[in-house]
Homo-oligomer: A and B are copies of this chain.
Amino acid sequence: MVAIAPTQLVYQRPESLSDTPTHYCPGCTHGVAHRLVAEVLDEMNVRESTIGVAPVGCSVFAYNYFDCDFVEAAHGRAPAMATGIKRVLPDRVVFTYQGDGDLASIGMAEIVHAAARGENITVVFINNAIYGMTGGQMAPTTLPGQKTTSSPGGRDVEQMGFPIRMSEMLSSLDGTGYVVRRSLHDPKNIRLAKKAIRLAFETQVRGLGFSMVELLSSCPTNWGLTPLEALRWIEDHMVPVYPLQDFKVSPAVAEIRV
C-alpha cells in the first residue's frame, strides 16, 4: 500500500458567508470586503450574536450573502437603524456596511451623530469614489477631475465641491474609538484591511465606542476598467487622495491584543 501525504486546509470559504453567489460585477472588491468581514465574524465566533445593517447601494443585498441576522436600511440611514438596534440589544454585535453615497452623501448627518454619540457599532465604509448601483454618478468621494455620469466634464471642485475624507473628519469626534482607512487593491493591503476590521469589531465588543474602517474599493464597471486595472487605479489615483492611515485609535483600543 502507498503512503498518502496528509493534507492541510490552507483556506476555505468562511462560515459566516451564506452560500448565495453575489450579484456583484466580476472583480468588484465589495466581495473582498464581504469575505473579510465574514472571516472576522468566524474568528471572533460572534456570527450568532451579530446583526448586520445593509445600505442602499450595490451592497443593498449584502443581507443575502452573510449568514447572520440582517436588516436593510433606508438610503443613508443605516447608522440610525443600527443605533435603534444596538440601544435595545447592547450585548449584540451590530455593524453597518455602507457605500460612499450612502454614508458620505445622503447619510452624512446619521454617521456623524452616531460617531459623536460614540454609538457602540462598527461601520464598514466602502469608498469606491462613485455611485455604483445607480450607474456611476459622482459621489462626495469622487476624485477631482474624475469623469462620472453626473460630472461628464470631470469633477470641477470649484463647482461640485471637494472630495470628503470621512475618516479624517469623523476622527475629530470624541465618541470615536477606532477610525482607520485601508485599501483592497493588493494582498498586502487586504491583509491589513482584515486586521483593521478585526480591531473594529473588537472595539465594539469591548464597548470602546464607535468604530469605522474605510476601505478603498473598486468599481470596474463604472470606472470602465478591467478588474485588474481597477486595482491599479485605486493604488495610483485613490491612495494619494485618501491616505491609508490610522486616524483615531483611542488609548483603550491601542491596548487591544488579538
Contact = CB atoms under 8 A, between A and B. Distances in A.
Given A172-B165, A172-B168, A108 B118 contact: no
Contacts of A112: 108, 112, 164, 169
A255 interface: no
Interface string A150-186: 0000000110111111001100111100000000000
Interface in A88-124: 105-109, 112-113, 116-118
A52 interface: no
Given A108-B109, A109-B109, A157-B118, A162 B175 contact: yes
B161 A140 contact: no
A118 B161 contact: yes
Given A106-B109, A108-B109, A169 B164 contact: no
Contacts of A165: 172
A118 B173 contact: no
B163 A140 contact: no
Contact of A161 (B116, B157, B158): B116
Nearest to A207: B158
Among A109, A157, A172, the most chain B Cβ lie within 10 Å of the Cβ of A109
Interface string A196-218: 00000000000000000000000
A83 to B, nearest CB: 10
Contact of A116 (B106, B118, B164): B164
Nearest to A76: B109
15 contacts: A106-B109, A108-B109, A108-B113, A112-B169, A116-B161, A116-B162, A117-B161, A117-B162, A118-B161, A162-B174, A162-B175, A163-B174, A164-B173, A168-B172, A172-B172
